[in-house]
């Protein structure tokens, strides 16, 4: 997968955008590589958690490759708006990977790069990270962020970020709930990997159940959501019996994922 690297560390998949010379911009090959990587995470029963990161230390992801888009415009090629092409949209694929996905924001996450982080479940940022949606300054639309950002931060903050295109520093992003943790630059990579490994020690079916239920019931009435029964059912699993037995016997559980 050009520009996208995939490494498995125990139960954790580490997916890296490796295009630092373009600040890990989402060119066509990067988008295709990310889709393949996350479909692999979803399909592999031995992967329980995924981490998404950017190489180079300057940027998690700088968003769409505007140079690539400009060159296509100059050739007279038709621009394909989000969600209207024949392939699955990368942000949608990341969001619908029904396993915990953690963004390691080790630099700038702007425009489509922030949308990529928004598609993840948990965002851990380095203390020098900047985050923002400058699409209003580029004539773009921030299709994914306009839907998802107001579900993560207060509505007024979402409007301000989208309307102004201004960036937030890491501490302000934490204050408004855009990121879960802010970690010193030198520690953010290891912190994120340790965090992912800690999640991978929990019952995998339970984590998958949480993600199904949270995402599929966000807009449902509570009574309907409680009866949805989405995702794997941990209550009827062997892991449920193992988890209780391990607690009673004062030992670590041995999860099977079934």
Does residue 6 register a pLDDT over 80? yes
- Average pLDDT score over the chain: 93
Nearest Cα to Cα of residue 61 among 85, 91, 100: 91
32, 135, 160, 189: the catalytic one is 135
CA gap 198, 180 in Å, rounded: 16
Does residue 77 register a pLDDT over 80? no
CA gap 188, 88 in Å, rounded: 30
CA gap 234, 226 in Å, rounded: 15
Higher pLDDT, 37 or 2: 37
The pLDDT-based confidence of 141 (bands split at 50, 70, 90) is confident
The per-residue pLDDT for 86 is 63
115, 189, 249, 252: the catalytic one is 115
Choices 3.40.190.170, 2.60.40.1120, 1.10.287.1080, 3.90.226.10: CATH for 4-199? 3.90.226.10
The per-residue pLDDT for 88 is 78
CA gap 113, 54 in Å, rounded: 10
CA gap 34, 257 in Å, rounded: 25
Task: Provide mean pLDDT across the span 39-65.
Answer: 94
CA gap 150, 158 in Å, rounded: 5
Q: What is the dihedral of CA 197, 11, 40, 6, to 10 degrees?
A: 70
Looking at 14-18, 72-76, 82-86, 198-202, which range is the least confident one?
82-86
Q: Would you give the DSSP letter of residue 55?
A: T
- Most confidently predicted of 56-60, 83-87, 93-97: 93-97
Task: Provide mean pLDDT across the span 229-238.
Answer: 93
Catalytic status, residue 115: yes
Q: What tokens were used for 74?
A: 């100059």
Task: Locate the domains of the chain by residue range.
Answer: 4-199, 204-248
The pLDDT-based confidence of 195 (bands split at 50, 70, 90) is very high
Catalytic status, residue 135: yes
Burial of 70 (0-12, 13-18, 19+ CB in 10 A): exposed
Task: Provide mean pLDDT across the span 111-129.
Answer: 97
The pLDDT-based confidence of 175 (bands split at 50, 70, 90) is very high
Q: Which residues pair with 21 in a beta bridge?
A: none
């Amino acid at each position: 997968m050009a520009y996208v690297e995939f490494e498995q560390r125990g139960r954790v998949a580490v997916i890296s955008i490796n295009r630092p010379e373009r600040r890990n911009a989402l060119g066509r090959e990067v988008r295709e590589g990310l889709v393949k990587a996350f479909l692999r995470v979803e399909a592999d029963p031995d992967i329980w958690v995924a981490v998404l990161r950017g190489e180079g230390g300057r940027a998690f992801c700088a968003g769409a490759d505007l140079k690539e888009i400009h060159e296509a415009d100059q050739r007279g090629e038709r621009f394909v708006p989000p969600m209207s092409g024949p392939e699955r949209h990368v942000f949608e694929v990341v969001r619908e990977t029904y396993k915990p996905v953690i963004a390691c924001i080790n630099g700038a996450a702007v425009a489509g790069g922030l949308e990529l982080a928004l598609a993840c479940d948990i965002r851990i940022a380095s203390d020098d990270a900047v985050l923002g949606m400058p699409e209003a300054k580029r004539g773009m639309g921030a299709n994914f962020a306009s839907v998802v950002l107001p579900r993560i931060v207060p509505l007024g903050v979402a409007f301000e970020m989208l309307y102004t295109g201004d960036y937030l520093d890491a501490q302000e992003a934490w204050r408004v709930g855009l990121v879960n943790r802010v970690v010193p630059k030198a520690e953010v990579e290891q912190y994120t990997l340790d965090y992912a490994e800690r999640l991978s020690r929990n019952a995998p079916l339970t984590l998958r159940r949480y993600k199904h239920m949270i995402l599929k019931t966000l807009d449902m009435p509570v009574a309907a959501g409680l009866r949805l029964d989405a995702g794997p059912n941990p209550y009827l699993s062997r892991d449920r019996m193992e988890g209780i037995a391990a607690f009673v016997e004062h030992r670590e559980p041995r999860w099977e994922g079934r």
